[in-house]
Amino acid sequence: MIHEHSTCSRTTAMVASELYYWHDTLNWCGFFEPSLTCQPREHFENPETKRRLQNLLQASGLWEHLSLIKPHPAEDAVIQMVHPAAHIAHLTSVCASGGGETGQLTPAGPASLDIARLAVGGVVAAVDAVIGGKADNAYVLCRPPGHHALPEMAMGFCLLANAAVGIRHAQRTHGIRRIATIDWDVHHGNGTEAIFLEDPEVLTISLHQDNLFPPASGGIGVRGAEGRNLNIPLPPGSGSGAYREAFDKVVLPALEAFAPDMIFILSGYDASAMDPLGVMMLSSEDFRWMTQQVMQFADLQCAGRIVVTHEGGYSATYVPYCGHAVIEALSGASAQLTDPFDAHIANYGGQALSHDQGAAVERARAAYFD
Ligand SMILES: [Zn+2]
């Protein structure tokens, strides 16, 4: 049973495709290639987390409340707004040879480039829907993810920089100038940072676990053109209190100072308390709260225009609840779904802001504003 709140219900576009779940990350051991010391098993970035999010949306009824969009594959000219032709040629060649490592820690199967084109095309379609007024905001439930992909190299399970291409499309096709990105995946959004580092019209914000992945990436000293790159590395173990402090003291003030015309959220769920690749402590309610904070700002600043791309998150059990909370917030509807883990996680020790976490947020604030 879906309850609509008449004052805040909105049209949320959902970009989804069965083919997103067919991107093959091979029989890798977590994220390492199998060897005599590494027994093969499924890769962490496998379809289950995202397929189960779609399943939960369907079970709760929220799915029918969304405006479904079928993505089309992005052509070379679109991808080349970010990636050189040589990168596409390299991915083409690895996939044509049956698949394998495409860059750094990024396995792919024979159809993976075609599916990555569909992920980019999905973000492009989301941008068109939001700017064209067919939707108030949009969620792209795509695989493979995109935020680690560099222009010339696949990295960290990401083949193409999905959100970055969508941003270029918004700028060049729709004339949207100032765009802000907020990346709360537990890993640093290094690809997005690299692509826009010299572009003062794109503010890139990344909240991440300090020095997790890529190694030695995501420090507070990287500022870019006119200082429009903001890294907020948080200590391992950060939870609700630390993320709320970061939003209140740094993320929201930075958004206000920048005054974007549109916002992209690169939403990974690997900062959840259940994730095997991070050691942060967020619950689905924290993801809901962060989404609502961005929405409140976007309503005042840029007509609520938000596109969310699904990035990492590797707990097939818990990602669905976190993603459901984000999409429910975006839609303004209430699906009456109870997250059974939420109260459990809220009671974990260390959810309140610690001295070290507060100091880390203050360092990021001072580096950006002072
Ligand atoms: Zn991640």
Active site residue 148: yes
Mean pLDDT across 17-34: 97
How far does residue 268's CA lie from ligand 1's centre (Å)?
6
How far does residue 277's CA lie from ligand 1's centre (Å)?
8
How far does residue 367's CA lie from ligand 1's centre (Å)?
24
Mean pLDDT across 115-134: 98
Kindly report, residue by residue over 49-69, the tens digit of the pLDDT.
Answer: 999 999 999 999 999 999 999
Residue 7: what pLDDT?
58
Kindly report, residue by residue over 191-245, the tens digit of the pLDDT.
Answer: 999 999 999 999 999 999 999 999 999 999 999 999 999 999 999 999 999 999 9
Token output for 126: 């989301």
How far does residue 214's CA lie from ligand 1's centre (Å)?
10
120 exposed, middle or buried (CB, 10 Å; 0-12, 13-18, 19+)?
buried
Better-scored residue on pLDDT, 358 or 8: 358
Q: Which amino acid is at 215?
A: P
Residue 9: what pLDDT?
86
Within 8 A by CB and 6+ apart from 136, the residues are 10, 11, 12, 130, 304, 305
> In CATH, what number is assigned to the domain containing residue 253?
3.40.800.20
- Reply yes or no on whether the pLDDT at 262 is more than 60: yes
| pLDDT classification of 90: cutoffs 50, 70, 90 | very high
Range of the domain at 343: 3-369
Kindly report, residue by residue over 98-112, the tens digit of the pLDDT.
Answer: 999 999 999 999 999
State percent of the chain over pLDDT 90: 97
Candidates 43, 90, 147, 148; catalytic one: 148
Mean pLDDT across 168-195: 98
How far does residue 187's CA lie from ligand 1's centre (Å)?
4
Between strands 100-101 and 107-108, the pairing is: antiparallel
| Alpha carbon separation from 202 to 41, 151, 198 (Å, rounded) | 39, 16, 9
- Reply yes or no on whether the pLDDT at 361 is more than 60: yes
Residue 2: what pLDDT?
77
Q: What is the mean pLDDT of the chain?
A: 97
- Reply yes or no on whether the pLDDT at 6 is more than 60: no
Total of domains in the chain: 1
How far does residue 62's CA lie from ligand 1's centre (Å)?
25
State percent of the chain over pLDDT 70: 99
- Reply yes or no on whether the pLDDT at 1 is more than 70: no
Kindly report, residue by residue over 278-319, the tens digit of the pLDDT.
Answer: 999 999 999 999 999 999 999 999 999 999 999 999 999 999
Neighbours of ion ligand 1 (CB under 5 A): 185, 187, 268, 270, 312
